[in-house]
A and B are shown apart, each in its own frame.
Chain A
Amino acid sequence: MHLILVGLSHKTAPIEIRETLTFPADRQAAALAAFTCSDKVSEAVVLSTCNRTEIYAVTTSGADSIDSVIDCMCSFHHLDRAGLDPYLYASEGEAVVRHLFRVVASLDSMVVGEAQILGQAKEAYDHSFGNGASGRVFNKLFRQSFEVGKRVRSETAIGESAVSISYAAVELARKVFDTLDGRTILVLGAGKMSELTAKHLVSQGVRSVLVANRTYERAVDLARRFEGEPIRYEDLFTRMRDADIVISSTAAPGYVVTRGDVAEVMKKRSGRPLFFIDIALPRDIDPAVNDLNNVFLYDIDDLSGVVESNLEERMREAAQAEIIIEDEIAAFERWLESMEVVPTIAAIRAKSERMRAEEMEKALKRLDGLSEKEIATVEALTQAIVNKMLHGPTARLKAAAAEKDGYEYVDSARHLWGLDSQDAKPRHAHGLRGLLGLTDKARKDETGESLGC
């Protein structure tokens, strides 16, 4: 068994290519059926978002299966493989697990730390599960990847800070007012940017929107969209007393709000703070306004600075997330190893039962004349002895298999019980470990044995 991944993303393919290779929800069932119809693919998940299309599969072989998945993708979308190849990436084994965990943790996203990808991955898995394309391996792998996503979001600050201008404005307003519930905003100028910022603020609980524009009709038009109140331009400073946040984006060539204007407004606000967001270019609000007590002014450069700083922080948090991912990869590996113990224990029990039955048969031949009840008693006795003798070792083997390097216990048990032929390892164990591309040689290399360490 092999774990493979084939896909493309915003990092490898332009939008013109990405849009040709999408698997929308209504075509997922057909796509999953197409991928799993071949004997080579036993499980598949199709993750298709605006920034990436990725096919995760459990296959019987490595490189061949990658080719067959790519061919299947091309035929599903009637695409020429030669035209698609330069944009595709593929990986196998542990690299697939790492990639999935990074994707779900939003480390591979266009905006690192965005939250949407976790939901999209869940949706992709649900499609696979619902269509019977997900089995034991993907049930575990994807569910664990969701845990990784949650852990990264809860244990790091990767998704905390705003990384867009309008959200940065909302975040700063919250830093001043704590909650935006019941606050009043004044939109000065009816531009697109001020509308977008106002929209974000309204979605955060702002109660009322006042709109002022030199052309009153445009103010009426924008106010209607927010169920707000249009105000005459000449009433601007009178009504500014009622506002908590002022968003300005007029096309005026100079300052439309001066320090003197705001100083007058502040005299009648009973100590309430006033937060200005100036997203106009050239600026609408005199920077000296920021020097006034209880007045906070952020222009477009200040907001960009906040966004940049937040992005840098997300990158720092990403380093923490990578540690969590390594931890989870190790946990997945341990799970695979623990899975190998199940057939081993079954084989030990089967062999013991066979031996018991053979010995029982020999003994019964020697003990002629036993009644039915006596035979049943001896049978139960031998079964009880075998079960009691096996219980401790098998329970400990199960527990040990879940530990790091637990596969060594499984190998030892198989050797001691003579479950395998002299050279051959159990087929199933190879299969599961093969998922991550971890052969015994690879393990020895990891531990330095092959280097004589």
Chain B
Amino acid sequence: MTVILQNVAMWLAMSLLTGATVLYGYFFLSKKPAHSFMASLLTGAAFILLTASIGLYSSASEGSRLFGPYSLVLAAWALVLVYFVVEHLVKLKVYGVVLLPLALVLLAVAQVLLPAAAGAQPGAVEMVQLNSWRVTMHVILIVFANAGFAIGAAASATYLVLEEQLKKHRTSTLFKRLPSLAQTDLIARRAIGWAFPAYSAGLLLGVLRAVETDVSGWWSDPRVMLSGVVWVVYAAYLYLRFGRGASGRTTAWVALGGVVFVIALAVVARTLPEGFHVFGIARP
């Protein structure tokens, strides 16, 4: 029964997110407040259903699953939550057009991968490694940091599109609907500014756990190395933005580069069976 309810809540949430995406799209083109209000309403309802679905799943599996494809559901949940907060803080709904489809893709991929991973459990050694509050915090922090990086990337992409339009003196509908350069730059800066410390803390907790469980050569795991690259890219972003006063264009490209590594890491984490950090892979 719980599983059925969890699935119903999940599919309803996905349907509402689809509706919200369409409405955000309409709002982007028409600028009618009614569309944005309905889109926010649907996003809120979808978030509640998604939370309920995660809760039901946790109760059915006796605890949240922080490994395997289900981590994608958590990532989508965090993305919707962070987007919702950003939307209400800066009163900008443009990013819903990009970020909600991203959350939907994460959920859809999770739905495709989950049946194959049904009943999958990490091995005995891995269970020992996972059994710690540090791992829980590590996953939560990384998931939220990735949501922040995604928002930073969406804002950076918007910045580059608008800058291009301004440079070429175009006044298309797209140009008129996009927020200002200053605003997009600010959102990217803040999103990454908040996400980076969370990511750093998440990585630190992961390293501490690896050291305390005496995993040899943990640093040579491709996931660990890639996450190090992600950290370096975003550290460079912050240094360029706040230390060197680099232009919005330069930092926007760096932010987009960073999110490419985040995506690469997400793919590698779920496909490469090498290394100790194999929790993302479904293994029946």
Contact = CB atoms under 8 A, between A and B. Distances in A.
Decide whether A and B are members of one complex: yes
B167 A178 contact: no
A306 B169 contact: yes
A332 interface: no
Nearest to B168: A290
Nearest to B171: A309
A302 B32 CA distance: 29
B132 interface: no
B246 A176 contact: no
Most buried by A among B169, B183, B246, B250: B169
A178 B247 CA distance: 17
Contacts of B31: 157
B182 A296 contact: no
- B contact face: mostly helix, strand, loop, or mixed: helix
B245 A172 contact: no
B68 interface: no
A155 interface: yes
A310 B169 CA distance: 13
A296 B180 contact: no
Given A157-B31, A306-B169, A309-B171, A177 B249 contact: no
A285 to B, nearest CB: 14
Interface in A124-175: 155, 157, 160-161, 172, 174-175
Q: How big is the A interface, by class?
A: 20 to 34
A294 interface: yes
Contacts of A175: 162, 166, 175, 180-181
A294 B169 contact: no
A271 interface: yes
Contact of B250 (A179, A293, A305, A310): A293
A324 B181 CA distance: 34
A172 B175 CA distance: 10
Interface in A226-251: none
Nearest to A270: B245
B179 interface: yes
Nearest to B31: A157
B92 to A, nearest CB: 11
A296 B167 contact: yes
A172 B171 CA distance: 10
B248 interface: yes
B166 A172 contact: yes
Contacts of A179: 182
A160 B171 CA distance: 13
Given A176-B166, A305-B169, A306-B171, A294 B180 contact: no
Q: How big is the B interface, by class?
A: 20 to 34
Contact of B248 (A160, A273, A290, A310): A273
Contacts of A309: 171
Given A155-B32, A157-B31, A273-B248, A290 B181 contact: no
B247 A294 contact: yes
A302 B170 CA distance: 9
A161 B176 contact: yes
Contacts of A293: 247, 249-250
Contacts of B167: 290, 296
B250 A296 contact: no
Nearest to A294: B247
B58 to A, nearest CB: 42
Interface in B158-208: 162, 166-167, 169, 171, 173, 175-176, 179-183
Nearest to A306: B171
Nearest to A308: B171
Contact of A176 (B182, B241, B244): B182
A294 B162 contact: no
A364 B162 CA distance: 89
A35 interface: no
A407 interface: no
Contacts of A56: none
B166 A296 contact: yes
Contact of B183 (A178, A271, A306): A178
Contacts of A157: 31, 176
A23 interface: no
B182 A177 contact: yes
A302 B165 CA distance: 12
A401 B241 CA distance: 67
Contacts of A155: 32
A447 B166 CA distance: 52
Interface of A: 155, 157, 160-161, 172, 174-179, 269-273, 290, 293-294, 296, 298, 302, 305-306, 309-310, 313
11 contacts: A174-B180, A176-B180, A178-B179, A271-B245, A273-B248, A293-B247, A293-B249, A293-B250, A305-B169, A310-B171, A313-B176
The 3 A-B residue pairs with the shortest CB-CB distance in the complex, in nearest-first order: A270-B245, A178-B180, A178-B182
